[in-house]
Amino acid sequence: MLLLSANSEELVNIDNTICGGPPSVIICVQRTLNEIATAANNIHSLTIRIEQNIHQRDPNTLTLQNHIINKLSNINNSLPSSKTHQQFMIMNNIDKSDLIHLMKEQDYAVSFLYKSVDNIRHLQSMSENDEVDDPFDRIQSEQRTDDDHMCRINDNILCVKDEFKEITSKAAYIIQKTLEIEKILNQTKLTDKVFQRIIIERNYTLSSLPPSHYLDDLIRKNNINRKFLVELLAETHNALIYFANNIIGVRLLENNYGQDVDHAFANIQTVLKFEMVCRYRNVMNVFSVPWKSIHEINDRLHFSARMKHLCLSDYYAVRSIVIARHLHEWMQNLTKGINDLETKYLT
């Protein structure tokens, strides 16, 4: 398979380059894709087993099969798109843009299917014994474990203060990127109607933001104890994942403003997940605080129904700026909170 080089228009062989690169590359993409393929094969085997088990329990197989065919026909339009995947199968080579679209499509599809399985398991839990061997549980385990393996935890942290210093540095970087996003979109001469919608939607979405009770209390308190710190770490860790997950939704939208906004969001998402969240987990590990995996935090910003009346470009602009402003404010509060910790935390 051939891909375009990230830094040139030259076609390069994926097998010779995808695991190479400068020393700063810390992950072999090919190995990761192989692991994904292995998990997909495992899920395929489990789905066959599920269907076999159901057929064995239901004596009227023909009636069941007819119901399945009818239901599949009814839900077909609501399934995630596989357009890019289908094109991929018949193409001789792809470029970087094709690969990105394919990965976005598959990321959304996996999330959709995971939540669908979660709904089935919820129904199952109301009618079956917990001791029943649950193949749906194994399917979800292929997509997430108790730890999402997103971070390599450092068990040798000698100075928590240094981790917090790096976190505030990354927060400053994200603040810079949110300003950059808004500047790019403002240069497109957004209408007064769009600016009014941004203000309305920013206020509307406040109720669906992640909680910041402990962060707000920290700013007001003179000192805190270990219990408070533990809750603060968990609250902020979850908020960072919340914003990283919400950025996925923006990046899946049709973007008529060029690649600059998408690149800025991509950089923010990477820093949130692999720099800030992972450093929070290092600190939480020091205090023996458990954390939620990235798959357990599924909350999203809720925009008003009026958004559907906007054209696609305005919809993208409003959603992008609202998320950027919320994230900007969160990073400012997080930085202030961390700066207060040194004088307020009493061991």
Res. 173 pLDDT band, cuts 50 70 90: very high
Distance CA(247)–CA(265), nearest Å, equals 7
Read off the DSSP letter of residue 145: -
pLDDT tens figures, 259-308 = 889 999 999 999 999 999 999 999 999 888 999 988 889 899 999 999 98
Paired sense of beta strands 2-4 and 11-13, if any = antiparallel
pTM of the predicted protein model: 0.60
Which domains does the chain show, CATH number per domain?
Answer: 2-143 (no CATH), 160-344 (1.20.1250.10)
pLDDT value at position 27? 45
CA distances in angstroms from 59 to 48, 55, 66, listed in the order given: 18, 7, 14
